[in-house]
Structure 1
Amino acid sequence: MALDKAFHEIPGTIVFDAEQARKGYWLNQFCMSLMKAENRAKFKADERAYLDGWKLTEAQKQAVIDRDLNRMMALGGNIYFLSKIGATDGKSFQQMAGSMTGMSEEAYREMMIKGGRSIEGNRRIGEDGDAQRPRKD
């Protein structure tokens, strides 16, 4: 049973803890398989067939196909494992991070050079009158 963790009150925060590790075990194992050239070739040749060879949930498979990194993380993916998908696609970590924020690579880089994301609206839920809790996947 999941504990009510304080970090669930921080918008956009997914902490890779034991619960997330269990949820994403096969997703992360799939990602690690992409370290081998022959597996990358199989994946690129027929993504769905390659994914069907793993014990991933349908939601995890669809998130991979969509390259929705935020969804993959919500479904237990660890960004360091997920970076193998980006590398397979020829993407830099910076390009991947930009896609996770809805920004272009250039806009993301500029934001980071200027000190990162503003803390406005990125504190705990309820600090700016927002009483909604984020969904737990």
Structure 2
Amino acid sequence: MCTPDIPGTTLFDGTQARKGYALNKMCYSFNSAENRAEFLEDEDAYCERYGLSDEQKRVIHERDVLGLIAAGGNVYYLAKFAGILGLDVQDLGALQTGMTKDEFKAKLQAYAN
């Protein structure tokens, strides 16, 4: 299967899904307020519980959303982590595209019209 090369974009494919399984599983756990609180109480222990790689732990600690995508994170699961940081999916889209949130929202609105 041929996949397009989109500069600056990490394609979430089967390889990335396998790479990010533990990370995405952990982020999914943040659907629970109790788990979010436990993560904030001891991030290292929480990351260890889910078996994150050293790279995944590093980008979690750095709050590097683009690094999390490169480390196998799926944006829909990462949205759970981003919520802990006070970010929403539009913030993530802006980060991915190098735009401000307002620029990203305007681009989305332009596509809708």
Q: Where does residue 113 of structure 1 map in the other structure?
A: 109
Q: Where does residue 86 of structure 1 map in the other structure?
A: 82
Tell whether 2:8 aligns with 1:7: no
What is the identity, as a one-letter code, of the residue corresponding to 2:85?
Answer: D
Any gaps of 5 or more consecutive residues in structure 2? none
Q: Where does residue 60 of structure 1 map in the other structure?
A: 56
| Higher-helix-fraction structure | 2
Q: Where does residue 101 of structure 1 map in the other structure?
A: 97
Count of residues in correspondence between the two structures: 112
Shift of 1:111: 2.9
TM-score where L is the length of structure 1: 0.70
Give the 3 Å change call, closer, same or farther, for CA 103–9 of structure 1 in structure 2.
closer
Per-residue deviation, residues 52-93 of structure 1 (Å, max 9, x unmatched):
222111111111222222221221111111111112223221
Q: Where does residue 20 of structure 2 map in the other structure?
A: 24
Query: Which one has the largest radius of gyration?
Result: 1
| C-alpha RMSD over aligned residues | 2.1
Match of 1:75 among 55, 67, 71: 71
TM-score where L is the length of structure 2: 0.83
Give the 3 Å change call, closer, same or farther, for CA 81–33 of structure 1 in structure 2.
same
Shift of 1:29: 0.6
Q: Percentage identity across aligned positions?
A: 38
Shift of 1:8: 5.7
1:107 aligned counterpart, secondary structure:
helix
Tell whether 2:34 aligns with 1:38: yes
Return the alpha-carbon distance in structure 1 between the equivalents of residues 102 and 63 of structure 2: 19
